[in-house]
A = this chain, B = another copy of it.
């Protein structure tokens, strides 16, 4: 039992291939009579266009590829990806585009992605958590349009993006600590080759100025374990700290564990602030005071930019969205 083709539909409707094709592609020149005949024929035969055949002639694939650049072990530890994936699937589906997922954690993966994209297998590329200097970036300069959720360090002008105002968020948290009367405010940053790593530290320094000494700054890699390590390190270097701004909720969960192990009470002895307002923020004890990123909107805007480019827009402006302080119990 073969799948019906456009020929079968045409025959059943008593018209030619061309007319069926025109209806399918929204051409205006189809008579009402032909329209109903074809529509009936389509539902009778259960016809579905063959994307491969269509791609072959249109040179479009009907799919967008999401490239996840985290090394494999850490991938997805952060629940934020979920929102992005969900929103992307939904928005693309409305345009009849499907979402293909690829990993770019190691060299082999990256090569595969490049082959895939260069081979014309996707109409657009959705970059996620791409680090500065990723060799993928050069390889993707030619080919279909690419956008990123979150800026790509060093390519801000080349690769359009939608992102939260990281720097603003960091300022909001730091100012809040200051308002609370905290004196020795430390920070645990993300990796310094990601926008979240760099810009959240910048916002922190914006507020504290020269008081933001190296001694009070430690670095993590977004994982919970790294947050715990960094916190232990800070407690050693600066036992008198009374607040810590952690650049992600997940790392903050690690920091809480380290503080507990050291016998510090939160928020009494040490105030803790996270970033993201992800689902872990409410499952820690105490629940995290954090900075909310409008993740759904970011995802939405990112996809919107990509769709615009796919539709032929020569240039689109990056989008920056405001963050918001969410006060819970950790500070």
Q: A residues near B, CB below 8 A?
A: 3, 46, 48-53, 55-56, 61, 63, 65, 72, 75-77, 79, 81-83, 85-86, 89-90, 93, 98-103, 109, 112, 115-116, 118-121, 224, 250, 253-254, 256-257, 260, 279-280, 282-285
Contacts and interface: CB of A to CB of B under 8 A. Distances in A.
Contacts of A83: 76
A101 B101 contact: yes
B76 A82 contact: yes
B224 A100 contact: no
Contacts of A115: 48
Contacts of A52: 51-53, 55-56, 61
Contacts of A120: 3, 48, 50
Contacts of A109: 93
Contacts of A82: 75-77, 81
A53 B51 contact: no
Q: Which 4 A-B pairs have the closest CB atoms?
A: A48-B119, A76-B82, A52-B55, A285-B285
Contacts of A257: 282-283, 285
Contacts of A112: 93
A224 B61 CA distance: 39
Nearest to A83: B76
Task: Kindly name the residue among A63, A100, A224, A256 whose own CB sees the greatest number of chain B CB atoms within 10 A.
Answer: A100
A285 to B, nearest CB: 4
Contacts of A279: 77, 224
A119 B3 contact: yes
Contacts of A254: 283
Contacts of A282: 224, 257
A99 to B, nearest CB: 5
Contacts of A81: 82
Contacts of A3: 119-120
A75 B280 CA distance: 15
Given A52-B52, A101-B101, A280-B280, 7 more contacts: A48-B119, A48-B120, A50-B120, A52-B53, A52-B61, A56-B56, A280-B283
Question: Which of A118, A119, A224 gathers the greatest number of chain B CB atoms within 10 Å?
Answer: A119
A322 to B, nearest CB: 24
A76 B84 CA distance: 11
Contacts of A46: 118
B103 A89 contact: yes
B89 A85 contact: no
Nearest to A79: B79
Contact of A116 (B86, B89, B98, B102): B98
Given A3-B119, A76-B79, A284-B285, A98 B102 contact: yes
Nearest to A53: B56
Nearest to A287: B257
A90 B103 CA distance: 8
B89 A102 contact: yes
A103 B93 contact: yes
A317 to B, nearest CB: 28
